[in-house]
Amino acid sequence: MDERPARPAAEQAPVPAQVSFWWEAAGRPRRRRSLPGDIDCDVAIVGAGYTGLWTAYYLARRDPSLRIAVIEARHAGFGASGRNGGWMSGHMAMSSTMLADPARRDGVLRLREAITRTVDEALAVIAAENIDADALKSGNLRVAVTPAQEARLRASVAQELSLGATEHDVRIVEAGELGSLINVAGALVGAYTPHCARVQPAKLAAGLADAAERHGVTIYEDTMVTVIEPGVVRTRRGSVRAPVVVRATEGFTARLPGQARRWLPMNSSMIVTQPIPGSVWDQIGWQRAETLSDLAHAYVYLQRTTDDRIAIGGRGRPYAFGNGFDPAGTTPAQTSAALARILRGMFPPLAEVAIEWCWSGVLGVPRDWNPSVGFDRQTGLAWAGGYVGQGVATANLAGRTLTDLITGTTSDLTDLPWVGHADRDWEPEPLRWLGVQAMYAAYRYADRREASAPRPRSALVARIADRIAGR
């Protein structure tokens, strides 16, 4: 018998999840049939994540006569849609250059307003379709724990207000009020926005897939797409011919022929605790279950789950050479350990709370860090993505926009500046691998500098990294 003492709960190694903890909690997804061979339809959508499912759903609602086929390599919600942090956020990732360009100001304001409204639109569909996604619109808190983070937070809020936001949309939460909401160790100040909802990602993906099917959409699973061309989607099980083909593959885009440098497959990892006792929650607070993030350069994002766990995610090992990633989401032990250290640093009462699950997934990152949506009517090819980790709500806006574009409907959505937005490709290897490694090394170094030598300005190395990256 092994007489060595068991490790404390806080030190036990997390158990890898099957795809993600979210899918384990939701239950294994209902498997659908594969493509039976060559077929014809009106709209072929590649990818059964949020983008593909929202697009299929809105198209079917708009025109029930459309024959819509969604082709998925594994199962609906297998990718980032079933692995993310569960933030349905009214914030769209945009580069600082876009935000600072006066010529784009009007378009940026309209785009920001559209994504803000999208949270309520998505929640309304969730309610109307009776999707059990643990949805709770309790807002988002960003928390600063160093003087440099505080300066970034206050500057960010000031910029949002200068772009037309009001104090109803975003406000500073000073230390006294922040402490009454959540007890993050060392927190100096926070910022709150009501435009964010917590969701259970896998439940949302499963519910969207079921809703799309109820409205006449056909989803084919276990069907690997090999080529996307005008008028046809080629798979290992047959070809799908359609006058309109939608690419909704986000982080998996880089594996398609001709798309290797289009969007970088950025890796993000998550861990989740065991259910946390009420006595510990009494010390932490967080009774309203807002989504939570910090202001570090290598930031983390958190949610309090409906069963009283904490899920926290961060970039970990952000990029593997040659667009490499593990579709199954295997997570390096040092990544889960690093996230656990950050979590317990934020919440010391969690010292003896075990980490039960860890997983990873990939998201799509354009070279200029700006998402896009588009439709080429001549070729019939459409696309949406590059959400840079903000896809839970943005995919809904993309689906509605694609629906207008595909059906030839001129609307406020089709006039938004991300429609048809073109970005240059990422650099060839090894330059992009070296660049991403250097960028995140710089961010982590900057975070250490800002923590060890408090100063009210971001570390120079992080400002240089931002400029080089084009963020």
What is the model's pLDDT at position 258?
A: 93
Is the residue at 80 inside a domain?
no
Residue-wise pLDDT tens digits, 260-284? 999 999 999 999 999 999 999 999 9
User: Model's pTM, two decimal places?
Assistant: 0.94
| Distances 9 to 4, 149, 200, 280 between C-alpha atoms, Å | 15, 32, 25, 15
Contacting residues for 187 by C-beta, under 8 A, at least 6 apart: 143, 144, 145, 175, 178, 179
Mean pLDDT of 3-18: 46
Structural domains in the chain (count): 1
- Place 455 in a pLDDT band, splitting at 50, 70 and 90: confident
Under a CB-based contact definition with an 8 Å cutoff, are residues 372 and 420 in contact?
Answer: yes
Cα–Cα distance for residue pair 201/181, rounded to 1 Å: 25
pLDDT, position 309:
98
Q: Which of 92-106, 127-141, 190-204, 323-337 has the lowest mean pLDDT?
A: 92-106
Residue 100: pLDDT band (50, 70, 90) is: low
Q: Has residue 462 been placed in a domain?
A: yes
pLDDT at 328: 85
Averaged over 368-378, what is the pLDDT? 96
Helix (H, G, I), strand (E, B) or coil at 94: coil
- At residue 4 the predicted structure's pLDDT band, cuts being 50, 70 and 90, is very low
Secondary structure element (H or E) that encloses residue 442, with its range: helix 431-452
Q: 30 pLDDT exceeds 80?
A: yes
So what's the pLDDT on residue 104?
Answer: 74
Q: Which domain holds residue 433?
A: 427-471
The pLDDT of residue 15 is above 60:
no
Residue 464 placed within a domain: yes
Average pLDDT, the chain: 92
In a domain, 447, yes or no: yes
Nearest to 141 by CA among 151, 158, 153: 153
Q: Is residue 433 part of a domain?
A: yes
pLDDT at site 466: 84
Give CA angle at 18 (15, 21), nearest 5°: 70
> What pLDDT digit, counting tens, does each position of 167-216 carry?
999 999 999 999 999 999 999 999 999 999 999 999 999 999 999 999 99
Residue 98 has pLDDT above 70, yes or no: no
Query: Per residue in 67-102, is it b (16+ CB within 10 Å) or e — as a string?
Result: ebbbbbbbbbbbbbbbbbbbbbbbbbbbbeebeeee
DSSP 360: E
Confidence of residue 97 (pLDDT cuts 50, 70, 90): low
**Among 27-31, 353-357, 400-404, 467-471, the least confident range:** 467-471
The one-character DSSP state at 421 is -
In a domain, 444, yes or no: yes
**In angstroms, rounded to a whole number, what is the distance separating the alpha carbons of residues 306 and 199?**
9
pLDDT at 11 over 90: no
Relative to beta strand 140-144, strand 189-193 is: antiparallel
Does 455 fall in a domain? yes
Residue 471 lies in a domain: yes
pLDDT band at 317 (very low <50, low <70, confident <90, very high): confident
